[in-house]
């Protein structure tokens, strides 16, 4: 199966990593729009333009399935994107919302980008949710420069939460930092892990991982190596 996956940068690679673990024998095409990162502070019109461009790229690649490995695009553009192609498109947020409906908790904290939080996709679908926009996290991750004090300043008011939802696909890269300020019982939800467990895919005999980024530099290449441990090709487009 040919699977196209995309995000603004390395965040969606956390989703790709989960897919490679469960379905190693597929052809993966990953598109990271690093030239336009971050997506989280952009308006709907801009996000639509950028993501339509990416969908067209996947149509040309003849993929069988498209996965929006980005919380921001999933919460902003899913309907419009589904209207432009007959290729099935999966978003990254819905399976996590379904999971939380089946597994409710008293206090759920969602961290996300400014756009995702302003869309209120979690609050509109669930109860007991506190949504918090954390715009500093994506640049921290992409620049490989974690600021513990900023992370602490966000979490210090929420140490009693039952579930922390990583509402942006970049955030699994900060999981060890988050754990420092949460009680041991707090469950941390990684949307990529939830998505991969909800869709039955066929493995086929061919396996390849092709990464495409709109801007490539040394820090990006280092970040990719930290996430994807199997062999891949990388190309700037």
Are 114 and 40 within 8 A, CB to CB?
Answer: yes
Handedness of CA 144, 45, 169, 119 (dihedral sign): positive
State which of residues 27, 94, 116, 223 lies at the interface with ligand DGL (CB under 6 A): 116
Of the candidate spans 33-41, 145-153, 174-182, 201-209, the one that interacts with ligand DGL by CB under 6 A turns out to be 33-41
Among 4, 32, 38, 95, binds ligand DGL (CB under 6 A): 38
Residue matched to tokens 């996965």: 67
- Could you tell me which of 41, 103, 109, 44 has the C-alpha nearest to residue 75? 44
- 170 forms part of the interface with ligand DGL (CB under 6 A): yes
Contact 142, 10 (CB under 8 A): yes
Please report whether residue 40 would count as binding ligand DGL according to CB under 6 A: yes
By the rule CB under 6 A, 91 interacts with ligand DGL: no
* Residues 201-230 interacting with ligand DGL (rule: CB under 6 A): none
Could you tell me the CA-to-CA distances from 54 to 67, 71, 75, 160 in Å, in that order? 11, 15, 16, 40
168 is catalytic: yes
Q: How many residues bind ligand DGL (CB under 6 A)?
A: 16
- Candidate list 5, 15, 70, 220, residue with the active-site label: 70
Report the distance separating Cα 209 and Cα 232, nearest Å.
5
User: Residue 77 catalytic?
Assistant: no
The distance of closest approach from Cβ of residue 82 to ligand DGL in the complex, given in angstroms and rounded to an integer, is 18
Site residues (CB under 6 A) for ligand DGL?
7-8, 11, 37-40, 70-72, 113, 116, 138, 168-170
């Amino acid at each position: 199966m040919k699977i196209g996956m995309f995000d603004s940068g390395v965040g969606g690679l956390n989703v790709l990593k989960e897919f490679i673990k469960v379905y190693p024998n597929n052809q993966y095409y990953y598109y990271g729009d690093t030239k336009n990162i971050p997506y989280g502070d952009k308006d709907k019109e801009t996000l639509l333009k950028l993501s339509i461009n990416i969908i067209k790229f996947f149509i040309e690649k003849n993929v069988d399935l498209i996965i929006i490995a980005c919380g921001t695009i999933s919460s902003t553009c899913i309907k419009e994107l589904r209207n432009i192609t007959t290729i099935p498109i999966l978003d990254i947020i819905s399976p996590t919302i379904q999971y939380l409906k089946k597994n409710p908790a008293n206090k759920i904290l969602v961290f996300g980008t400014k756009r995702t939080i302003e869309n209120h996709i979690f609050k509109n679908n669930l109860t007991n949710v506190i949504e918090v926009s954390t715009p500093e996290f994506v640049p921290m991750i992409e620049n490989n420069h974690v600021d513990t004090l900023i992370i602490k300043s966000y979490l210090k008011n929420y140490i009693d939460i039952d579930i922390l939802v990583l509402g942006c696909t970049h955030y699994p890269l900060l999981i060890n930092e988050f754990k420092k300020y949460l009680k041991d019982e707090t469950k941390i939800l990684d949307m990529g892990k939830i998505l991969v467990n909800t869709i039955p895919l066929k493995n086929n005999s061919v396996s390849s991982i092709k990464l495409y980024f709109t801007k490539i530099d040394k820090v990006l290449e280092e970040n990719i190596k930290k996430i994807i441990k199997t062999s891949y090709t990388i190309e700037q487009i």
